[in-house]
Amino acid sequence: MVNEEDVNYADEQMFPVTGPGVVDGRMLVFGGPYSNLAATAAMRRQAEQLDIPPERVICTGDLVAYCAEPAQTLELVRDWGIHVVMGNCEEALAFDEPDCGCGFDSGSHCSTLAVTWYRYADRRVDGGQRRWMRSLPRGIEFELEGRRFRVLHGSLSSINEFVFPSSDRGAKLAQARQAGVDAIIGGHSGIPFGQRIGEAYWLNAGVIGMPANDGACYGWYLLIEPSAAGLECRWHRLDYDYRSSRRSTIAAGMVEYGQALASGLWPSMDILPVAERAQRGKPLDLPPLHIPAAITRECNSREAAAN
């Protein structure tokens, strides 16, 4: 059993960081399948259509949560063979915790709703799946075009910290510096965004298993693509058969989450800061984020041209 108060998730001796290392070609990052089998299958098809192999696909965690197919979603991801960061939901189920460990305030509407789906999932995930979830890394690193990325679930210090666009920018920069990377890609919060903060970047790919509280019935994922001048980070919508997921989720007893799949609105905004609450139901405007080529790479290119 893991006690959140006693754990420093930035300690790489306790929780070593893994990853594909140096990669060549575009990366696909997504989060929060949330037991939504239809959305996860659509994400895999999209990766295949884009000709992105499993070794260049990363999930930021929370494979199991609000929808009705937890075991099937787990097996699809395992069969796919992609990189997966441990989310708080994987941690909770893997270590037989009494609740999901999402970080909801006790007594909040989010906390009450979580009881139903967690009990549902807990009855359907088997021992082999729990052992697999227990083996997942809490951080994944890769290097692309000379830029280092750390992928995690919540934050560097907490697996269930909610980091939003309006969250403290100084804290984000401090975490990137502590990790020794150019960019952090987080999950958990359910809202996609990208920011340049000082010399570093904080990205969130968004989630595919629930809408982004923007009034639309699709999910979000992130493509990081090399370009002549560095990297282009672009967020894309994921269309899938949300109607089938809505029906199965409602039939399984997670009524409010099933309704959210169609309305595009979260059943509760307990976790949201004021700025994000004000965005409820508004279409997301996610312009591409450019990350310039690393200075060392630029210098090497100039030297090679000069010779």
Strand partners, 147: 144
Exposed (0-12), middle (13-18) or buried (19+): which is 284, by Cβ within 10 Å?
A: middle
| Statement: residue 166 has pLDDT above 90 | yes
pLDDT category, 34, cuts 50, 70, 90? Answer: very high
| Statement: residue 184 has pLDDT above 50 | yes
In this prediction, residues 221-233 reach a mean pLDDT of 96
Give the pLDDT confidence score for residue 112 in this predicted structure: 74
Contact 172, 184 (CB under 8 A): yes
Compare 228 and 18 and report the one with higher pLDDT: 228
Q: Alpha-carbon distance 80 to 37, whole Å? A: 13
Give the pLDDT confidence score for residue 3 in this predicted structure: 45
Give the pLDDT confidence score for residue 262 in this predicted structure: 97
* 3-state class (DSSP) for residue 184: strand
Give the pLDDT confidence score for residue 30 in this predicted structure: 98
Q: What is the pLDDT of residues 51-76, one digit of tens each?
A: 999 999 999 999 999 999 999 999 99
Question: Tokens 């909770």 map to which residue?
Answer: 92
pLDDT category, 181, cuts 50, 70, 90? Answer: very high
Residue 68 in tokens: 């009705």
Give the pLDDT confidence score for residue 290 in this predicted structure: 97
Using alpha carbons only, how large is the chain's radius of gyration in Å? Answer: 19
Strand partners, 200: 197
Give the pLDDT confidence score for residue 98 in this predicted structure: 77
| Statement: residue 156 has pLDDT above 90 | yes
Domain positions in the chain are 16-306
How much of the chain exceeds pLDDT 90, in percent?
A: 79
Q: What is the pLDDT of residues 279-303, one digit of tens each?
A: 999 999 999 999 999 864 444 434 3
Q: Alpha-carbon distance 69 to 66, whole Å? A: 9
Domain topology for 16-306:
Purple Acid Phosphatase; chain A, domain 2 (3.60.21)
Per the prediction, the chain carries an average pLDDT of 90
Contact 198, 171 (CB under 8 A): no
| Statement: residue 199 has pLDDT above 90 | yes
Q: Alpha-carbon distance 296 to 8, whole Å? A: 32
In this prediction, residues 137-146 reach a mean pLDDT of 96
How much of the chain exceeds pLDDT 70, in percent?
A: 88
Number of H helices, E strands in the chain: 10, 12
pLDDT category, 243, cuts 50, 70, 90? Answer: very high
Q: What is the pLDDT of residues 79-130, one digit of tens each?
A: 999 999 999 999 999 999 877 877 666 666 666 777 889 999 999 999 999 9
Q: At what angle do helices 127-134 and 70-80 cross, to 10 degrees?
A: 50
